[in-house]
Homo-oligomer: A and B are copies of this chain.
Amino acid sequence: MIVIMQAGATAKQISAVIARIEEIGLKAHLSEGQERTIIGVVGDERKFGDRDTLALLDGVERTMRVSHPYKLASREFHPADTLVPLNGSQVGAKKVVVIAGPCSVESREQIIETACAVKEAGATALRGGAYKPRSSPYSFQGLGEEGLEYLAEARQVTGLPIVTEVMEPGLVPLVCKYADVLQIGARNMQNFPLLNAAGESQHTVLLKRGPANTMEELLMAAEYILSHGNNRLMLCERGIRTFETYTRNTFDLNAIPVLKARSHLPVIADPSHATGKWEYVGAAAKAAIAAGADGVIMEVHMNPEKAMSDGAQSLRPEKFAQLVKEMRRVAEAVDREM
């Protein structure tokens, strides 16, 4: 951390800052500028937690962090790509994975039929929600454990591993019984008890970026999971909230190369939520792969206009199958496979 003293800070004020730094167990390094004095804090500034209280001492103009607040998630700390096993592939390696399925599990038939269709088209894993976070208490809330059972049955039929959301710490053990990958949804990215429970479970986790969270906050959330020794973790960019309202979210394409550069974790893109409209999903999916995504997760429904959620952003199986072919060509153009 660096402490910028106000122009005209007194020697007494400067000494007080130094004393405070040493009190926390760090060393201070003085640098007399022309306009103002700057004090460098030598040592692990994570000791400050988020207590940026040096800024409150008299004569301090402001403080600036030097090192990132996360460590385990950083490439600096872990230079090699982390590879996460999924259905025989390694997410983060050369092959780009495709996770597909309906937003919600609506019935036994629906999920099995969809599972077969996406497998046929080349999906690596099956997605489907049994517990649904819904803005409205009047919306379909998911089938719960019944939905998990249907997912397990769909896995039996197709061999596809299951990616499904868990919304509360108390349900992590139950969902782990059925799911291959725990999805932590965007609205729960900073649900810290849930992050801790997912970390402790040692289960594979797909962590979605919150719609209003920075990439740094996403990596801090990942840090929670990693801090439990669980590194079977994938990050997911699914669009952020901005002033633009024509699309459901704004796909932060930049997040793909940035997260790959700053972290060793695999990065998955969710073009369905990132656009909110099926007609733009293909363009966003191909863009994500061109930008270096390790996989895509997308919504596929046999009959979108009857979907109980997210129908507007769901692809029909035949459109999905066509898109897989197009994505494969793009993957090959950037020296990946699908």
Point out residues on A near B: beta carbons under 8 Å. Answer: 2, 4, 7, 20, 27, 29, 31-36, 38, 40, 42-44, 46, 49-57, 64, 66-67, 69-70, 76, 133-140, 167-170, 187-188, 190-194, 210-212, 214-217, 220, 223-224, 227, 240-247, 250-258, 261, 274-275, 278-280, 283-284, 286-292, 304-309, 311-312, 326, 329-330, 332-334
Residues of B with C-beta under 8 A to A305:
20, 53-54, 56-57
Residues of B with C-beta under 8 A to A52:
311-312
Contact B138 A49, beta carbon cutoff 8 Å? yes
Residues of B with C-beta under 8 A to A70:
136
Further pairs besides A49-B134, A49-B138, A51-B308: 9, Cβ < 8 Å: A2-B64, A33-B42, A34-B43, A51-B309, A137-B224, A167-B193, A240-B250, A250-B252, A289-B290
Q: In the assembly, what is the distance between CA of A306 and CA of B242, in Å?
A: 33
Residues of B with C-beta under 8 A to A279:
257, 261
Residues of B with C-beta under 8 A to A67:
35-36
Closest chain B CB from A260 CB (angstroms): 8
Given A52-B311, A191-B188, A290-B287: A33 and B66 interface contact (C-beta under 8 Å): yes
Contact B246 A49, beta carbon cutoff 8 Å? no
Which residue in chain B gives the minimum CB-CB distance to A217?
B135
Q: In the assembly, what is the distance between CA of A21 and CA of B133, in Å?
A: 25
